[in-house]
Copies of this chain bind each other. A is one copy, B any other.
Amino acid sequence: MRYVKLTIAYDGTAYAGWQIQPGEPTIQGVLEHALERIVGRRNRITASGRTDAGVHALGQVVGFQADTTLTPRLLQRALNAQLPADVAVLEAAEVEAGFHPIRDTLSKRYRYVIHNGAVRDVFARRYCWHISRPLDVAAMDEAAQCLLGTHDFRSFESSGAPRSDSRRTIYELTVLRADNGNDKVVIEIEADGFLYNMARAIVGSLVEVGRGAQPPAWMSKVLESQDRGRAGPTAPPEGLFLVKVKYRT
């Protein structure tokens, strides 16, 4: 048995998220199905983390054990031939059997794209949140600064069973207006881990500041409150991309 690590990209539009659910199209489902057609039996595939319905990935990392003599390169090609057009294997590598896609994570980086223009972008509509009124990007970036570092982020965790430990460390959080004249505002967040819907709750809160509904200083009050009801709404999934997962070694 070999342990294979894949870096994959997917357009999440048509999927009910990463994790297999009966009767719903999922990324895990199409990937396990493609692998089964190649190696002849079903293998469980584990991702660095689940992504929600409609969320995209530029560099999700997944791993599985496989009883195959195919080289990683040939396995990549075979998978890409079997997968639907909205899922692609970017890289494949054989790694030591001790590797675990969740446990060995050092950090994850997400990108959130807002189209901040008067008229919708017909080509980007599946890949951004359209907000027509101009956002104050400088105020959003100022508000973001208080979230850097290690904090209890339960104010930005969607309801459901709260984790015993909701402390996380944000290494980077930037809000930039893309400089290529296409009216995009891009938010990049890198952290050692994310609570449920944390990235989208942070974006939804930053947008409250960007549209002038709250001053930048409001963000630190939300963080300190440890109350999800104080933060902004959860931003829609179509603007969110899992960009990169970093690992030890």
A85 within 8 A of B: yes
Contacts of A85 in B (CB 8 A): 120, 122, 125
A149 and B95 alpha carbons, distance in the complex (Å): 57
- Checking B56, B76, B89, B122 against A10 with a beta-carbon cut-off of 8 angstroms, the contacting residue is B122
A79 and B109 alpha carbons, distance in the complex (Å): 39
A11 and B121 alpha carbons, distance in the complex (Å): 9
Q: Min CB distance, A168 to chain B, in Å?
A: 28
B89 touches A125 (CB 8 A): no
Contacts of A56 in B (CB 8 A): 123
A237 and B76 alpha carbons, distance in the complex (Å): 28
Contacts of A187 in B (CB 8 A): none
A interface residues, how many (CB within 8 angstroms): 19
Q: Min CB distance, A140 to chain B, in Å?
A: 24
A112 within 8 A of B: no
Within 8 A of B (CB), among A115-148: 119-123, 125, 127
Contacts of A121 in B (CB 8 A): 9, 88
- Checking B80, B119, B125, B127 against A119 with a beta-carbon cut-off of 8 angstroms, the contacting residue is B80
Contacts of A78 in B (CB 8 A): none
Q: Min CB distance, A106 to chain B, in Å?
A: 24
Contacts of A125 in B (CB 8 A): 11, 85-86
A242 within 8 A of B: no
A87 within 8 A of B: yes
A66 within 8 A of B: no
A53 within 8 A of B: no
A196-207 Cβ-contact flags toward B at 8 Å (1 or 0) = 000000000000
The closest CB in chain B to the CB of A180 belongs to B180
A122 touches B87 (CB 8 A): yes
- Checking B10, B80, B122, B127 against A86 with a beta-carbon cut-off of 8 angstroms, the contacting residue is B122
A186 within 8 A of B: no
Chain A residues packing against B (C-beta within 8 Å): 9-11, 56, 76, 80, 85-90, 119-123, 125, 127
